[in-house]
Each structure stands twice: as structure tokens, then as C-alpha cells.
Structure 1
């Protein structure tokens, strides 16, 4: 299953010059709610790789708080809020898939 999360990109972010929204794509194994792969529209390969290392193995049926906290602690850039919002959005979409 593919789960997407979106968020607006702040105007002061370098990414805003080319895109208005940040998107996060998660490949999820539904029976176990486990994230198998991650892709995003982060501006650099390093940021995309970091997000993948953060989220691969995550359980979408669990709390997103530890991942949001990790962004607060380890991502020092204007797009941190967008990344956190996209993570929240993906968690919310996954939780609402059966409704």
C-alpha cells in the first residue's frame, strides 16, 4: 500500500522556489503497518535519505510522536514544520483507510 502525506512548503525554504507542497510517500505492508520504503520531495538527496532512514521500519499503527521529535532534534531547516505536517498527514491517512 502507498500512503501519501502532504504539507505546504514555507516561503523562506529553498524548496518553495520549485514547489508549493512537500510530499512524503510511504510504501507500507498493511498486515503489519510497517513502512518498507520512503520517498519525498525534499530538496536534497541527503534529506530524502535521512527521512527514509528515520521512517523505514516505522509502525503506522503506533504513535508518530517519536518521529516528529526526531525531526525537531535533527532537522535544522525552514522545512521542518512541513516535514512534520507531512508525517502527521500520512499517519492520519493510514489510520483512516478503513473508515
Structure 2
């Protein structure tokens, strides 16, 4: 990964009360490394209660081409992540997407 060709984008969302994730973090966060030339997600990390969950989510989004828009990625996440904080996960990804879109005119 070459940092001159990438940007780091984050997104956050509140998780449901009563979940383990809420008790530990209160929010779901996603950090993604996006290649500016290809618009592909090169790496991603999530605030999770287990390493397995972080690995699974990261593997799910890595390699996704953001030129396709965010909705196909969100549909994939909804299909493959049956977790209590699914809504927060989707919102955190959408928040990161919005931040990425807002940064485009500044580049």
C-alpha cells in the first residue's frame, strides 16, 4: 500500500443499547484505506468485540470498487452479517462513504 495513492476514511454510528459492543465502545467505527486511482478499498478495520468479527468484516469489504456506489456493498453486508449491530455497521459504512464522496472535490 502506497500512502501517496491512498486516503484513510472513517465512519461512525451508534450501536444498540444492551449489546456487548455498546457496553465496550458505544459506537461502531470503520476505517478504510481507499486507493485514489482505482477507488478500490485496499484495507479496512472495524471496532468489534472479537478478532473474528473484525477479520470477517474486513475481508467482506476489501477489494470492493467504490465506483459501483455504496448500495451493492451495503446489500452484501446486510446479507452476510446477521448481527445485532447490523444497522450501525451499515450506517458507519454509509458515513465513511459520504465522507469519501465529500473529499473528492478537494483532491
Partner of residue 48, structure 1: 54
Q: Show the counterpart of 1:70.
A: 76
> Structure 1 unaligned runs (5+)?
none
RMSD: 1.2
Alignment of 1:1-99 (within 5 A): 1-99=7-105
Shift of 1:67: 1.8
TM-score by length of 2: 0.85
Q: Distance in 2 between matches of 1:67 and 1:79?
A: 17
Tell me the matched-pair count. 99
Q: TM-score, normalised by structure 1?
A: 0.91
3-state SS in 1 of match to 2:68: coil
Pair member with larger Rg:
2
Q: Distance in 2 between matches of 1:46 and 1:68?
A: 20
- The gaps in structure 2 that reach 5 residues or longer are 1-6
- 1:12: how far off? 2.5
